[in-house]
Amino acid sequence: MANSLAFPLLVTLVLAALATSVHRRLPPRLATRFVTVALVLVALASIPTALVVAIAFLAHVPVVGFGFTWCAQAMGLHGSVPAWLGVPVVALVVLGAARTLKLLRQYRLLRLDESRPIHVAHSHRPYAVTLPGRAGQIVMSTALVDLLDDDERDIVVAHERAHARYRHDRYLLTAELAAAALPPLRTLALRVTYSIERWADEAAAAVCGDRQLVAITLGKVALQSNPATVAGFSGLGVAARMGALLQPPVPNLRQAQLVGLWSSLAVVAGFSLYQLHHLERLLTALCPH
C-alpha cells in the first residue's frame, strides 16, 4: 500500500522539479506563473497523500487508532503502514500544520488593504519591503535611504512597486504555504520566490533603462544587509539576480516552445490527479448524499 501511494507522488515531484529546472531561461513573468502552477500541482498531490498515509498509520496504533479506523476504512486502506514510514509522516503532518498556521498568522498580522504613501521606518538595517494585501504598502528603512543615491532609490521603489502592481504577494504566499506544509516542496518554492524577484528587477530596469545599475544597486544593498541566519546558499540569491541583469534579457519563447513547456506540466497534472483519487473515497464518506 505504501508503494502504491508513494510511487506516483515521487514521480510527480521529480517531474515537476525537472520541468521547472528551466525557470532561469524563461522571462521572469512566465517563470513565476509556470513554477507556481507546478508547485500547486505537486502540493495538491502530496499534501493529501501525507494526510492519507498519516491516517492509515494511526489507524493501526493501539488506542489512538480507534478514532481513525473508520477513516482508514472509508479510504479502503486495509494494508498497514510500516512504522518507519508512518512515524515520520505523522511528524511531518503535525509540523507542517503548525508551520502553516504560523505563516497564516503572520500574513494576517501584516496584510494591509488601505493604501498610504511610502513609509520610511527608522532602522539601522537597510531594507525595503512590500506588505502583502491590496494596498501594496511599501516600507523603506532610513538606513537604505541613506545608503543610496537618487537613481538607486528610484530603482528600489520601482522594484517594490512592481511587487505591488502584479500582486506578487499572492505567488509568494502560495509558495511559502506549500513549503511550510511540506518541506520537500521548498526547492520549488525557492524557484517561485527567485522568479518573483527577477520579475520585479526587470520591471525596475524597464523604468530606469539601465539594467546594469539595477544590478549594482542590488549588490550594494545586499552587502550592507544582514547575514542570513537560516536561509542557506541556494544559488538563487542576489548574486544570481545580478548575473541575470548583467546578461542580455531572456528572449520570449516561441509558440512551439511555449506548447512544450505547458505540456510538460500537463504530465505532472496527470500524475497529480492520479494521486488525488486516493482521497476521493474519503470525501465521499464525509459527505453522504
Q: How far is the CB of 7 from another protein (least distance, A)?
A: 32
Q: Which of 13, 47, 218, 269 binds another protein (CB under 8 A)?
A: 218
- What residues contact 286, with CB distance under 8 A and at least 6 apart? 74
78 vs 102, beta carbon nearer another protein = 102
Q: How far is the CB of 235 from another protein (least distance, A)?
A: 9
Strand positions, DSSP E, the chain = 119-121, 128-130, 138-141
CB 192 within 8 A of CB 32: yes
Is the torsion defined by CA of 180, 185, 187, 188 positive or negative? Answer: negative
Per-residue x/- track, 226-265, another protein (CB under 8 A): xxxxxxxx---xxx--xx--x-------------------
Q: Is 123 in the site for another protein (CB under 8 A)?
A: yes
Concatenating the DSSP letter of every residue in 110-123 gives H---S--SPEEEP-
Which amino acid appears at position 220 of this protein? K
Q: Which whole-number Å values give the CA distances from 67 to 37, 57, 175, in the listed order?
A: 36, 12, 33
End-to-end CA distance of the chain: 28
Residue 128 has φ and ψ, to the nearest 5°, of -140, 130
- With CB under 8 A, what is the number of residues at the site for another protein? 63
Q: Is 197 in the site for another protein (CB under 8 A)?
A: yes
Q: How far is the CB of 68 from another protein (least distance, A)?
A: 22
Per-residue x/- track, 145-184, another protein (CB under 8 A): -----------x--xx--x----xx--xx--x---x----
Residue 59 has φ and ψ, to the nearest 5°, of -60, -25
Q: Is 196 in the site for another protein (CB under 8 A)?
A: yes
Chain residues in the site for another protein (CB under 8 A): 103, 105-107, 109-112, 114, 116, 119, 121-123, 125, 127-132, 135, 137, 139, 141, 144, 156, 159-160, 163, 168-169, 172-173, 176, 180, 196-197, 200, 212, 215-216, 218-223, 225-233, 237-239, 242-243, 246
